[in-house]
Structures are given as structure tokens and as C-alpha cells.
């Protein structure tokens, strides 16, 4: 029997496996992919803090990013630029491989091409039913299980922890680009209703194009690719689409008896963008420390593991809630109002003020949104919108 079984070999799963293996526990990671180098539906834009805090090597970085061009629905441009790099574009598949290699070096075992269909908690262990759809299932046992299998996992419901209630669909393709050297973000109901689309350069002549939508993501993606080709930003062609569900809010509970949930399965993401690498790895560390304490004392009750919930939500809960409110607010904006916001930001110099504020960080999207909403020059525009929360006077 294993001490810990981690379901999912993404960044959060491999990070917690590495930490627990370092502590000396017998850890197994179960992953449905055959090969961790397979492409993923994730743009891989992470903050400089993420690169620093988790020692991500330069060998898996495509490039640094200190600027972005944001387009309004009518094509107006907002340039966002700082002198120092604020983010890095990471090869996400290579990140999965790198983190798994670090975990293996510490002694974690990996089982690939294997799904977990069911988890059953017994008084002294968790039993997992694993295998393939049409093959004989194999039972594995562990003292505790960590669900890190991404958004939409049925395993969280089996553990009595429900699912994330608010979500959208992301779609992305790898494209051939022509002269694209910085991140480009596009808004507008015709492109990605209530959300946004992006074009991100990776290697020379290559990039990632994608968008988020609550429905018809594939349809909107085709329109977006056509627009990019007509503008000469990408080479027209037939590109393979990759889809992924994106949590836009967090689980109310992420722990139960002998079970923890980490990463996007727990809603540990930035609702404004759907990015979850950094948040997931931060929470993986918190989970690892709590599991070490619980395993040492052999107290894996719901009450003991609930400390994990309290700790990670104390660190990230407010930012996720702010991001979720901001996300709901943005979905209420019409294209005309977004265009007007672009004008006000440009004429009032709000963008420059925010960029000069050292308290504004790449990972604090919710806080930035609230600063914009509460700004004096923008407040009259926003008061006409049915806000998801009261607008305070400043």
C-alpha cells in the first residue's frame, strides 16, 4: 500500500508528489496520458514570481514577456508595457515533464496511461479502481489520495466535495505566425463573448492562438483564426484544436477524510484568465506540508485535513473571489461600453498609473479589476452596468 496516491501529473500533482517523496513517503502518481510531453490546452504564461519560486529552468522557457497589445471590439489599441519582464511564456508540456522528473528523482513512482474511475474510502485506506475503459480494472491502495486531475473530475463528487459551479471552455491551437513578437489580446462579443482571445508568440514563426467561451468555443475559434489569417498575423491552415474546461471559481471544500484536492480541480485558478499553474503549485506546497503533519500523526480525518482549506484560502481566497466578481462584471459589458472604457483609460492615463504602481503584480488580476472599476474616471461608465457587487465611492 502506498502512503499517498496523486491522481494527475500536471504541475500541481507533480509538485506535491515531489514534496511528499522528499519527506520520505511512498508516493505514486497516476496519469491518464500515455506521454507527459503531449501538448496541453494551456498557454503557459506564468509570472516571474512563479519562475523564481519554483526554480523553473530557462531551457523550458520560450521567451520573456514585458509587453502586450490589447484590442477593443472596434480595434482600438491599449499598449501595456513595463521595462522589466512581468511574465514568461513556458513550454507547458516541457514543464509537466520537468516537474515529473524532479518527483521521480525524489523517489515518486509514475503510472501513465491509466485512469482512476472510482475511489472508495475505508477506515484505514483509500481504494482506487484504475485501468482503461474496456480493460480489466486494477485496484490500488493508499493511506490518502490527492485529486489533481484537472477541472471536471468526477472524483471530487465521489469524495463528497461537489464540483466547481462556474466554468467555461478554453480552446487553443499552435499556429504559424508572421511577425508577431508580443502577446496580443482581443475582446468583443463576436470573438469570445464575455471573455477574450489571444495570440502568443512562442518560438520564431510559431505561436499559440486561443480563446475562452461559455459555449460554441470551436465555432468562435474558427472565426478567430480566419480573422488572424486575414490580418496577416498567422499563416492560414488547418490546425488541431485542443479543448479544456476552465474553473472560474473555487470549491467550497477541498478536503475530506483521507482526500485532498489541489490545482484546477479545486478551482485554484485566476478567474480573470483561467491561468492556474502558479496558484496550483502554491497550494500543492501547502497541501504537502499538511499531509506530512497528518501522515506523521496518522490523523487523516476530515477535521485534521481541513487546515489545508483554511491555509490556502487565507492566502489566495480573496484574490480568487475578486477575480470571480471581476469576471462576472466583464461579462456584463457590451462592446460599446468596452470601447468607451478603452477611450477613458487612454485619455486619462489610467494604464500608465497602474503600470507605475509597484503593488500591481501579474498574479493579482482581481485587484487590478477592482482598481479599474473604482477609478473616478471610469465609475460613471460602470454605474450603468448591473454590477455583481456594490460599487463603492472613492
Q: Which band of pLDDT confidence, cut at 50, 70 and 90, is reported for residue 374?
A: low
Architecture of the domain whose range is 2-41+93-165+248-318: 3-Layer(bba) Sandwich (3.50)
Average pLDDT on 236-244 reads 91
Q: Which band of pLDDT confidence, cut at 50, 70 and 90, is reported for residue 392?
A: very low
38-42, 177-181, 225-229 — which one is most confidently predicted on average?
A: 225-229
* Bridge partners of residue 4, in order along the sequence: 27, 144
From CA 132, how far away is CA 111, in angstroms rounded?
13
Q: Cβ contacts of residue 372 below 8 Å, gap of 6+?
A: 341, 345, 350, 354, 378
Would you state the pLDDT for residue 59? 94
Q: How many CB atoms sit inside 10 A of residue 165's CB?
A: 12
Please determine, for residue 391, whether its predicted confidence score (pLDDT) is greater than 60.
no
Residue 58 DSSP class: G
The domains spanning 2-41+93-165+248-318 and 168-246 adopt the same CATH topology? no
Pairing of strands 167-176, 242-247: antiparallel
- Consecutive H or E run containing 68: strand 67-71
Would you state the pLDDT for residue 90? 95
Q: Which band of pLDDT confidence, cut at 50, 70 and 90, is reported for residue 82?
A: confident
Note whether 248 and 213 are within 8 A (CB). no
Average pLDDT on 335-342 reads 87
Among candidates 167, 274, 164, which has minimal Cα distance to 210?
Answer: 274
Would you state the pLDDT for residue 340? 85
Greater confidence (337 vs 285) lies with: 285
Percent of the chain predicted with pLDDT > 70: 88
Please determine, for residue 189, whether its predicted confidence score (pLDDT) is greater than 50.
yes
Among candidates 292, 308, 246, 307, which has minimal Cα distance to 17?
Answer: 292
Sheet hosting strand 183-186, strand order edge to edge = 77-81, 67-71, 183-186, 197-201, 206-213, 167-176, 242-247
Would you state the pLDDT for residue 273? 85
Helix (H, G, I), strand (E, B) or coil at 192: coil
Please determine, for residue 259, whether its predicted confidence score (pLDDT) is greater than 70.
yes
Q: Which band of pLDDT confidence, cut at 50, 70 and 90, is reported for residue 394?
A: very low
Greater confidence (363 vs 289) lies with: 289
The domain segmentation of the chain, as residue ranges, is 2-41+93-165+248-318, 168-246, 325-383
Average pLDDT on 353-363 reads 54
- Consecutive H or E run containing 229: helix 217-230
The correct CATH number of 168-246 out of 1.10.3720.10, 3.30.9.10, 3.30.1280.10, 3.10.20.600 is 3.30.9.10
Q: What is the mean pLDDT of the chain?
A: 88
Please determine, for residue 361, whether its predicted confidence score (pLDDT) is greater than 80.
no
Contacts 24+ apart (CB under 8 A), 341-344: 341/72, 341/372, 341/378, 341/381, 342/72, 342/76, 342/78, 343/76, 344/377, 344/378, 344/381
Copy the grid coordinates of residue 206. Answer: 510559431
pLDDT tens digits for range 101-137: 999 999 999 999 999 999 999 999 999 999 987 677 8
Cα of first residue to Cα of last residue in the chain, in angstroms, is 58
Number of H-type helices and E-type strands within the chain: 11, 18
Amino acid at each position: 500500500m502506498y502512503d499517498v496516491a496523486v491522481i494527475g501529473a500536471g504541475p500541481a500533482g507533480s509538485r506535491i508528489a515531489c514534496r511528499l517523496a522528499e519527506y520520505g513517503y511512498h508516493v505514486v502518481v497516476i496519469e491518464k496520458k500515455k506521454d507527459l510531453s503531449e501538448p496541453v490546452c494551456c498557454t503557459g504564461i506564468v509570472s516571474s514570481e512563479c519562475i523564481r519560486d519554483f526554480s523553473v529552468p530557462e531551457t523550458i522557457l520560450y521567451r520573456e514577456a514585458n509587453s502586450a497589445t490589447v484590442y477593443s471590439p472596434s480595434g482600438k489599441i491599449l499598449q501595456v508595457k513595463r521595462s522589466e519582464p512581468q511574465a514568461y511564456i513556458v513550454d507547458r508540456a516541457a514543464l509537466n515533464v520537468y516537474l515529473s522528473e524532479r518527483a521521480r528523482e525524489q523517489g515518486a513512482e509514475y503510472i501513465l496511461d491509466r485512469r482512476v474511475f472510482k475511489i472508495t474510502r475505508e477506515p484505514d485506506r483509500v481504494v482506487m479502481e484504475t485501468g482503461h475503459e474496456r480493460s480489466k480494472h486494477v485496484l490500488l491502495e493508499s493511506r490518502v489520495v490527492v485529486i489533481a486531475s484537472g477541472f471536471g473530475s468526477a472524483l471530487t463528487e465521489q469524495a463528497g466535495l461537489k464540483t466547481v459551479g462556474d466554468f467555461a471552455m478554453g480552446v487553443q491551437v499552435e499556429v504559424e505566425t508572421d511577425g508577431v513578437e508580443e502577446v496580443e489580446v482581443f475582446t468583443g462579443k463576436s470573438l469570445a463573448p464575455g471573455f477574450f482571445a489571444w495570440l502568443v508568440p512562442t518560438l520564431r514563426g510559431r505561436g499559440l492562438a486561443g480563446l475562452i467561451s461559455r459555449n460554441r468555443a470551436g465555432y468562435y475559434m474558427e472565426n478567430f483564426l480566419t480573422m488572424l489569417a486575414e490580418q496577416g498575423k498567422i499563416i492560414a491552415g488547418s490546425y488541431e484544436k485542443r479543448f479544456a474546461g476552465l474553473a472560474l471559481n473555487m470549491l467550497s471544500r477541498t478536503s475530506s477524510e483521507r482526500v485532498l484536492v489541489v490545482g484546477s480541480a479545486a478551482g485554484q485558478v485566476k478567474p480573470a484568465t483561467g491561468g492556474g499553474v502558479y496558484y496550483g503549485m502554491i497550494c500543492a506546497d501547502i497541501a504537502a506540508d499538511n499531509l506530512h503533519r497528518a501522515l506523521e500523526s496518522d490523523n487523516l480525518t476530515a477535521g485534521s485535513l481541513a487546515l489545508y482549506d483554511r491555509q490556502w484560502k487565507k492566502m489566495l481566497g480573496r484574490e480568487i473571489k475578486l477575480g470571480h466578481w471581476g469576471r462576472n462584471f466583464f461579462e456584463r459589458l457590451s462592446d460599446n461600453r468596452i470601447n468607451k472604457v478603452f477611450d477613458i483609460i487612454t485619455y486619462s492615463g489610467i494604464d500608465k498609473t497602474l503600470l507605475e504602481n509597484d503593488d500591481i503584480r501579474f498574479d493579482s488580476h482581481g485587484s487590478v479589476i477592482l482598481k479599474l472599476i473604482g477609478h473616478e474616471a471610469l465609475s460613471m461608465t460602470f454605474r450603468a452596468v448591473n454590477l455583481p457587487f456594490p460599487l463603492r465611492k472613492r
